[in-house]
Structure 1
Amino acid sequence: MTAGEREVRCFAWAPDSASLVIVTTDATEYDAVFGPANVWEISIDGGLPRHVAHFRTAPSPLVIVDTGTGPVVAARVDGHREDPADSIWIVPLAGGEPRNLLPTVTGIVEEIFSLPGSENRVGARIVERTHGRLYSVDVVSGELQALTPRALGERGSVVHGVSISADGRRVAVIWTDATTPEEVFLGDVESQATPLTSFGAAFQGRLQPAEHVSWMSDGVEIEGLLTCPAGFQEGRRFPLIVEIHGGPSWQWEDRVMLNWHDWAQMLASRGYAVLLPNPRGSTAYGREFQQLLQNDVGGGESRDLVTGALAMVEQGIADPERLGIAGWSWGGYLTAWTITQTDIFSAAIMGAGLSNMVSEHGQGDIPSANLLYYPGQPYDHLDAYWASSPIRYVSAVRTPTLILHGDEDARVHPAQGMEYFRALKTRGVPVRFVRYPREKHGIDERAHQIDLMKRIIDWLERYLGTAVNR
C-alpha cells in the first residue's frame, strides 16, 4: 500500500473503512519523530496517497472522528518550541492546517483513544500536575467532560490500560497511588469503581504515603511529592534524597514508586525521606512552565532542586548534613550538573546521565530532541551546549558519586558516564562506575536490577548513613 522514501510511523482507519490515514517521516531512525511529519490518506486498494496535513513533529497516535461536517483527524502531538506541551491537535480529513484543540489546558495529553457511543468526541488521558485523569473531548469545541470514576479522580493517577464499554458508560483502567501498586479498576463514568485485581496485596500496609509539597524558587512555584521514611516522627530529622525524573519533558505523578527506576519506597523503607520534584521544564504544568527550560538548560531547573532540598530542611524534615541527589537519564544529567554548582549534597547517583552536551549530541540516538531546549544545533551554538555541560565545571565537584549505565545504551552513550568518571577519579573525588552488560537505556535483566538497587543502598548508607544508625 505504501512505497517510496518514507517511514510509516502510525496509522488509523478512516470511518468508512475504505482507507487508512498514515503518518510518515522522511527518515527512518527514531530521531525523526522530533522533526517534521506528514499525514496522508491512502485507499486500501492502493494507489497514490492524498496529502492531508503537515506537522512540525510526528504525531502518534491518530484517531479519526466522524462529525456532522465531515471526518476530523485527531492527533496527540506537540507544537515544537512554540507550543511544547503534548496536546490534541485536529485537522479535517479533507485537508487543512492543524490546530491545537486544547491551547489553554494546564496539563499534558499522554494518550488519546476512540470513544464508543459518542459523536464528535475522542477520549484522552491527561496528566494535570501530579494526577492522571480521563476525559471525553469534543473535537469541534474542545469541551472536556470527566470520565474518571469519581473515587479514582480525586487522588492517584490513571496510568494506562484504558478500555471503554461499547455504550460509553463503563470504564476499565489501571490506577495507582503512592501506597497502591497498579491494579485494574472497573467503574461507571464519573461514579464509583471497584478493583478487579490484587497484584499489590503483598505490599498492603508496607508502603509510605506521599505528601504534595511546594516551594518557591526564583519566584516560580515548584511542586513535588514527599515520601517520608518508615517510622517517621515529627520533630526528628532524616536523611533526604532528591530523586529527579528523566525527560526532561516528563513529570512525577502520584503513583507507586516501586521498581528499579523509581526508588522512593525502597529508600523510605531504609529510613530515607525522598523528594520527587517537578522542576521548571516538567510537563503537566502548562506550556509556559515547560518553556522555562528553553535556552536555560541546567539553570533554573537545577536551582529548583536545591531550593526544594533546603525547603525540606527548613520544615524540619531533612538533616542538612545528610542530603543526597539522584536520577536517571535527564535526572542523571541534572545530578551531574547540580553537584558542580553546590556542595550541599553528600552523596550523588548519576544513572545513565549526560556529562558533555556537545559530545552527547553526536553520540545519542535523539539529537533532534536538543532542539526543543537549545536555540539550535551545537555546530552553530557551541557555547550554549558547552555552558550547560557538567564536565565543564567538574573541578568544583566534591560529592561522592555512583555512576550507573547500560553498556548498550543508544539513548545516552556510556561514554557520557565514562567522561564524568574519569574526571572525578583524576581529581580524587570518591566515584564508582558500574556498566551493565547487554543493557540499553533501561535496565531489564532482573539480576542487574537487583544489583543496581543494592549498590544504590550501599552508596547512600556509606555516605549518608541511615535514620537507624545516626
Structure 2
Amino acid sequence: MASDGGRAVVTGVVLDELTGLPRTAVYAAVDGELRAVSAGRGSARWARFSPDGGTLAFLADRREAGVFQLHLLRDGGLGEAVPAPEAPGTVEYAHWSPDGRVLLLGVAGRGADLSSGEGSGSNSRRNTERPPWFPEVEDEDVDAWRGLWVYTPATGTLDRLSPLGLNCWEAGWCGPDQVVAISSGEPGEDAWFTARLSLLDFGGGVRKLLDSPVQLALPAGSPDGTRVAVVEAVCSDRGVVAGELLLVDPATGAVRRIDTAGTDVTQVEWLDADRLGYLGQRRLDSVAGIADLPSGAVREVLATKLSCASGTFYPQGAFTSDGRVLTVQDSYSLPPQLVLSGHDSREVLASVADPGTGYLLSVAGEAEAITWTAPDGLEIDGILCRPPGEGPFPLVVNVHGGPNWAFQNCWSMRYPWVPLLVAQGYAVLNPNPRGSGGRGREFAALVVGDMGGADAHDILSGIDALVDRGIADKDRIGLIGRSYGGFMSSWLVTQDRRFAAAVPISPVTDWYSQAFTSNIASWGNRYLEADPETPGSLVHTRSPVLHASKARTPCLNVAGALDRATPPGQAREFHQALRAHGVPSALVIYPEEGHGVRAYPAQIDLLARVLRWFDRYLTSRSAPRPDLGA
C-alpha cells in the first residue's frame, strides 16, 4: 500500500495447471479488479512502495526458479520491472530505508533451512538440477547462512551489511543508517528459537539489544531511530508469531510493553516516528490498531470476526499515513477480498470471487464459532464446519499445527480437506486447544512441558460437547492433522479408543528419534522440558510409537520424503508399530514433498486417499473396527 492510500498491491497464488507448486504473482487493485503488475515469467512476491510512492520494489525468480531477486518498477505504473544486481542467494524480503535512498535485503544462502511453515527442507533442494544418482550431502561447506545486504538504486551498488558469522533471520530499519535484526551465531533452524535482537550499523558494528526466555520476531525501528518495536512470543515455528508488543530504547536498552487489549500481535509497521501500527489476533477475531507513543493511547482501527490472514498464518496488512489499514479479508463463506479499512469506513478494492469460489460455497456447508469447557474449567474455542441438515453427523476433528497457531473462520479453514469432507456429509471440528495463539502468552505457554497432556483433553472434551449437542455421532469420530496436528492425531488414538479412523500428516510419533533426526530437535526437547537421554522422561512417555499397543484405530500415515522438521521416518515408525500390533495402517510418503503436501498432482492424490480412508471407516453407523481384544 502506498503511504497515501492511493495505490494497493497484493500477492496472489496462481494455479496455471495441476502440476507442481502454484506460482505467486503481484497484482494491483485497479477499478475493482486485480491486474498483474508485471508480465515477467516465474513467481513474484513481497511488493513494497518506496516512501514517496514513486517506485515499487518486489521479488521475482525470473532467472532461476525458486531463487528470488530484487526488481524495481518505477513511476508506479504497470509494465516491465528492472532487475537489481543479483544477490548471492535468494532474497527473502526487502525494506526501503525511511528516506527511500536504499533497500535492505535479507538474503538466504542456497543451503539455508526453510521453516516448517514453508515446507521444511532447504533452498538447495528446489534450486539445483542434479542427476538421479547424486547423493544427499550434509557438510559445513554448504551456504546455510542468512545475511543482510544494502542496494542503492541511484548507483546500482549492492553491499554486504552484516558481518560473516552472524545469521540474520529477519531485519528492519532503525533510522536511515542502522538496522535491527533477529540474529544468532549459527544458521541452523533450531538456532532461531534462541535468537536475540541486535542493532547493526553501517560501520560493521553489532550490539545486542535484547534477549528473551521465549522467542523474538518482527523487528522494526522507528524512522528516526529512537525506538525499536519487536514481538515477544511463545513460538513453535519460525514465521508463525503472535505475542506481546515491546518497545526497546536502542540507546539505553529499556523495554516498554504496549497494552494491545488482549490482542496477540502478528505484524508491526511504523506510520511515523510516533505512531506504531500493529495487526493481530484476539481469540477468533482479527484486530488492527495504532499506538500513539507520546500519549500512550492505543486506538483500534479494525476489529472483525473475518480472517485477515489469507495466504499467511496470522493477520497481516499495511497501513496508510492517515491511519487506514489494508488487509485481505475472508471467512469460510466469503472468498478473499482486498479491503481498505478506516475507523469509520470500509472499502472493498477487489475480490477473487468467481464461478469456482461460487461452486465451493454451494457445497462446503457453513461454519460457526463454538466454545466448550475443558475438564479443568478452561473455556476452549473452535470453528465447526458442517453440512446442511440435522445431525448427528460423522465428525472429523482437524487438529492444527504448531502447537502455537490458531484457527480463525477463514476460507477453506486453510486446509483443503475441510470443505471436501463437509461436501461429503462430514462435520469438521477445528479446535484451538491450550497452546493456541490469540489468547495471550500464558495460554500459549500452557502446552510447554505438557504436549499431549491437557491440550489433548481440550480436544476430547470438544468431541464430548458435540456428541452431547446432537451434532456428532459418537460411533463415527475421525482425526486428521498436520505437523503438531499429526502428532496429536497419532497420540490421541493411543489414549482413547473412540476414534474410527485417523490421518496423521507430517507427524512426530517418536520424540526420541526426532531428537536426533530433526532440524528443530532442540525445540522439541525444550517444549517437552525433557532430556532424551533420561529414561522415563516425556521424550519417552509422550511418544505415540511407544504406546502403539493401546491403539485400535486404523491410521493413514502421511509424510514428505524431503521433510527435515518431522522426517518421514516418524510416520514409518508409527505405521510399523501399528502393524506389529495388528492395527490397520497405511503409509504414504510423497517423494518430492517436505513438511505437508503442497504440490500438484500430489495434493489431489492426498485428498483422494483421505476421503477414501474416512469413507471406509466412518460412513456406516457401526464403523468397522478391528477386534484386537482388551
User: TM-score, length-normalised on structure 2?
Assistant: 0.67
- Report how far residue 58 of structure 1 moved: 5.5
1:13 to 168, 173, 180: 173
Cα 1:141–1:376 change in 2 (3 A) is farther
Query: For the residues of structure 2 that align with 1:290 and 1:141, how far apart are their CA atoms?
Result: 30
Q: What stretches of structure 1 of length at least 5 have no aligned partner? A: none
Between the two proteins, the alignment pairs up a number of residues equal to 450
Alpha-carbon offset, residue 451 of structure 1: 0.5
1:455 counterpart SS class: helix
The whole-number CA distance in structure 2 between the counterparts of 1:382 and 1:87 is: 35
1:52 counterpart = 2:206: no
Structure 1 CA distance, aligned partners of 2:295 and 2:491?
44
Match in the other structure for 2:424:
270
> Do 1:12 and 1:22's aligned partners in 2 also have CA atoms closer than 8 Å?
yes
Q: In structure 1, how many angstroms separate the alpha carbons of the residues matched to 2:457 and 2:354? A: 36
In the alignment, which residue of structure 2 is the partner of 1:221?
379
SS of 1:346's partner is strand
The change in CA–CA distance for 1:3 and 1:145 in structure 2 (over 3 A counts) is: same
Among 406, 413, 418, the alignment partner of 1:251 is 406
380-389 vs 138-147, which moves further: 138-147
Per the TM alignment, residue 22 of structure 1 is displaced from its structure 2 partner at its CA by 3.0
| Deviation (angstroms), 1:462 | 0.5
Quick one: distance in 1 between partners of 2:400 and 2:526? 18
Query: Residue 601 of structure 2: SS of its match in structure 1?
Result: helix
Q: Compared with structure 1, are the counterparts of its residues 79 and 448 closer, same or farther at alpha carbon in structure 2 (3 Å cutoff)?
A: closer
Query: 2:482 touches 2:596 (CA, 8 Å); kept in 1?
Result: no
Residue aligning to 1:23: 182
The answer for the alignment partner of 2:248 in structure 1 is: 91
Change (3 A) 1:91 1:307: same
Per-residue CA shift, 1:166-213, capped at 9, x if unaligned? 333x33210111111222123334422325123455323424221111
Contact 1:271 1:466 in 2 (8 A): no
Unaligned stretches of 5+ residues in structure 2: 1-160, 310-314, 624-630
1:172 paired residue among 326, 332, 338: 326
Q: What is the rounded CA distance, in whole Å, between the counterparts of 1:452 and 1:55 in structure 2? A: 40
Are 1:63 and 1:122, in contact at CA under 8 Å, matched by a contact in 2? no
- Does the CA contact (< 8 Å) of 1:361 and 1:367 recur in 2? yes
- 1:60 counterpart letter in structure 2: A
Whole-Å separation in 2 of the counterparts to 1:426 and 1:162? 50
CA contact under 8 A between 1:39 and 1:52: conserved in structure 2?
Answer: yes
Specify the code of the residue in structure 2 equivalent to 1:162. G
Superposed displacement of residue 381, structure 1: 7.4
1:114 to 244, 247, 270: 270
- For 1:157 and 1:98, locate their aligned partners in 2 and report how far apart those are by CA, in whole Å: 31
Corresponding position: 1:2 with 2:162: yes
* Partner residue in 1 for 2:574: 420
What's the secondary structure of 1:424's corresponding residue?
Answer: helix
Deviation at 1:446, TM superposition (A): 1.3
1:60-139 superposed matches below 5 A: 60-65=217-222, 71-78=226-233, 86-102=243-259, 105-115=261-271, 118-139=272-293
**What secondary structure does 2:467 align onto?**
helix
- CA pair 75-190 structure 1, distance change in 2 beyond 3 A: farther
Q: Give the Cα–Cα distance (whole angstroms) in 2 for the partners of residues 380 and 141 of structure 1.
A: 52
Task: Give, in angstroms, the shift of residue 239 of structure 1.
Answer: 0.4
Residue by residue, what CA displacement relative to the aligned partner does 1:197-239 show, whole Å, maximum 9, x if unpaired?
234553234242211111111122111111111x322xx3110
Distance 1:35 1:380, change over 3 A: farther
Aligned pairs for 1:145-160 (under 5 A) are 145-148=299-302, 153-159=303-309, 160=315
Quick one: structure 1 residues 80 and 140, their matched pair in 2 at CA, closer, same or farther if it must change by over 3 Å?
farther
Q: Distance in 2 between matches of 1:142 and 1:248?
A: 33
Q: Deviations over 1:257-295 (max 9, x none)?
A: 266x34221111110011111111111112222222122
Aligned partner of residue 306 in structure 1, secondary structure: helix
1:237 corresponds to: 392
The 10-residue stretch of structure 1 (270-279 or 365-374) with the greater mean CA deviation from structure 2: 365-374
User: For 1:181 and 1:353, how far apart are their aligned partners in 2?
Assistant: 30
* CA deviation profile, 1:407-455 (whole Å, cap 9, x unmatched): 1111101100010000111111111110001110032211001001111
SS in 1 for 2:435: coil
Kept after mapping to 2: 8 A contact 1:39/1:54: no
Q: TM-score, normalised by structure 1?
A: 0.89
Deviations 1:90-131 (A, max 9, x none): 2112131445434x743422111222xx55221111111112
Please show how residues 184-333 of structure 1 align to structure 2 within 5 Å: 184-204=338-358, 205-206=361-362, 207-218=364-375, 219-229=377-387, 231-233=388-390, 236-257=391-412, 261-333=415-487
Q: 2:234 & 2:407 partners in 1: Cα distance?
A: 22
Question: Compared with structure 1, are the counterparts of its residues 459 and 61 closer, same or farther at alpha carbon in structure 2 (3 Å cutoff)?
Answer: same
TM-fit CA distance, 1:13: 1.9
Q: CA deviation at 1:383?
A: 1.2
Contact 2:199 2:206 in 1 (8 A): yes
Partner SS state of residue 61, structure 1: strand
Query: Quick one: percent identity of the two aligned structures?
Result: 29
> d(CA) in 2 for partners of 1:329 and 1:307?
22
Cα distance between partner residues in 2 of 1:79 and 1:245: 16
Structure with the higher fraction of residues in helix conformation? 1
